[in-house]
Structure 1
Amino acid sequence: MTPRNIYVVDDHPLIRKGLCHAINAEADLRVCGESASCRETLHDLQTQTPDVLVLDLSLSDGNGWRLMQQLRAQGNLPPTLILSVCDEEIYAKRLLQDGARGYLMKDEPIPAVLAAIRKILAGHLAFSDHMVARMLQPENAPSVQLMDHLSNRELQVYGLLGQEMGNKAIAARLGISPKTIGTYKSRLRVKLDLRTTHDLLEHARGGYLGDQV
């Protein structure tokens, strides 16, 4: 059997190398390439067609979500498994709508990641057992329902605020002005029913969400 090709994108060398090692140890899988950045990934996927792309959302030079959108617009998006520290209950559904085939948190064990890759190779969607159970519930938690009203850009700003990035850093990451980030923060406070910027930052860091999910 010819091994299926997996391309891994993560800006943490230890995580990326560990995952690549685990994939290459499987008889039916092999790493055809790896990257720590959006730029390198865009370059490599002009000439490579991996069977699955394993993608982190936070990269050294940009946002994995935006990278996925760029690849999709170019017609170069492989079946994609998102592997991230960002809360799956907030991001998984939205990333699925944008073309991802699976979403796992980084605290999942390696066997679960390998199983998710194989599910995607078989043409299925891949989520954690927790997320599948959550999707089957008739109603989501109120905090998650509020997140459904955010635009993709608002959700990206929210996620970067959760990483304790300031307006200038977020603006540079997303390619927009710091003033625009201030506008997004105001919109987020209104949509999430938060009174102050401090409340928003605490919410984004999980201070409120963790109690409600």
Structure 2
Amino acid sequence: MPHTARILIVDDHPVFRKGLAHLINEERDMTICGEAEDVDAARTAFEELEPDMVIIDITLKDKSGLELLSEIQSLRPKIPALIVSMHDESMYAERAFRLGAMGYIMKGEMSDTIIQAIRQVLSGSIYASQTMVSRMVGRLSRKADPASHPVETLSDRELEVFQLMGKGFQRKEIADLLGVSAKTVGSYRELIKKKLNVNTSGELMREAVEWVSRR
């Protein structure tokens, strides 16, 4: 009897989670063995259900999905993991791959593309969009080491703030988009300045604009 792949979904958006579960359960060779909306529930489900694959939303209620991915990889190295996200892949895809993810896909993709990504990851292959592949190949051809850039030292939230700055958003706009106070955004900006070794807000803005333009 053909093996049916058992998949665990970790996503804090009930509508998306249920929709994805329905999509997967319609396939004859894969099924959802469990669902979780936060890190604690995901950790428990992962240990109890022993899934063949995990699908993780990059933004969870209590912790970054990338942190959960790192935990899961420490428990079961090489577990097939697909990251799903509403965030621009230029921000997080490379981080996800370095942490052990085998695929990264945007939530807005067509159903057939999502199933293709799941199958590819289950088969042991890497899944990435053509845009992401082209970007990585371009960096390799220039012999660039993306991990050497100081931006790679930023936390996930700091990276969000940095990218939004580079796209021209002001402090209040960033605060509204991220659901935090303008004061908190200011604190993130100061942390980013220290990590990037820049002294003024003007220098920080130039760094952000240049970084975004290279993505």
Under a length normalisation based on structure 1, what TM-score does the superposition of the two structures give?
A: 0.75
Give, in whole Å, the separation in 2 of the partners of 1:167 and 1:185. 17
Larger helix proportion of the pair: 2
In structure 2, the partner of 1:60 is 61
In structure 2, the partner of 1:173 is none
Give, in whole Å, the separation in 2 of the partners of 1:125 and 1:82. 12
1:91-141 per-position Cα deviation (integer Å, ceiling 9, x unaligned): 21221111111111122112111111111111111111221222222359x
Q: CA deviation at 1:63?
A: 1.0
Give, in whole Å, the separation in 1 of the partners of 2:93 and 2:16. 21
The one-letter amino acid paired with 2:29 is: D
Identity of aligned residues (%): 26
Larger radius of gyration: 2
In structure 1, the partner of 2:15 is 14
Give, in whole Å, the separation in 2 of the partners of 1:169 and 1:25. 47
Alignment of 1:198-213 (within 5 A): 199=205, 213=215
Give, in whole Å, the separation in 2 of the partners of 1:66 and 1:12. 18
Alignment of 1:28-177 (within 5 A): 28-75=29-76, 78-137=79-138, 138-139=141-142, 148-152=149-153, 154-161=154-161, 164-166=178-180
1:150-183 per-position Cα deviation (integer Å, ceiling 9, x unaligned): 345x14132453552547998xxxxxxx97x565
Q: Is the 1:57–1:63 contact (alpha carbons within 8 Å) kept by the matching residues of 2?
A: yes
Q: CA deviation at 1:19?
A: 0.6
Number of residue-to-residue matches in the alignment: 197
1:17-42 per-position Cα deviation (integer Å, ceiling 9, x unaligned): 11110000111110111111111001
Relative to structure 1, the CA distance from residue 60 to residue 112 in structure 2 (aligned partners, 3 Å threshold; closer, same or farther) is: same
In structure 1, the partner of 2:191 is 184
Cα-Cα RMSD: 3.6
The one-letter amino acid paired with 1:187 is: K
The one-letter amino acid paired with 1:64 is: G
The one-letter amino acid paired with 1:132 is: V
Q: Is the 2:151–2:159 contact (alpha carbons within 8 Å) kept by the matching residues of 1?
A: no
Q: CA deviation at 1:74?
A: 3.0
Q: Is the 1:120–1:126 contact (alpha carbons within 8 Å) kept by the matching residues of 2?
A: yes
Give, in whole Å, the separation in 1 of the partners of 2:43 and 2:15. 22
Give, in whole Å, the separation in 1 of the partners of 2:18 and 2:115. 15
Secondary structure of the residue aligned to 2:156 is: helix
| Unaligned stretches of 5+ residues in structure 2 | 165-176
Q: CA deviation at 1:211?
A: 5.7
Give, in whole Å, the separation in 1 of the partners of 2:112 and 2:201. 43
Q: CA deviation at 1:194?
A: 7.3
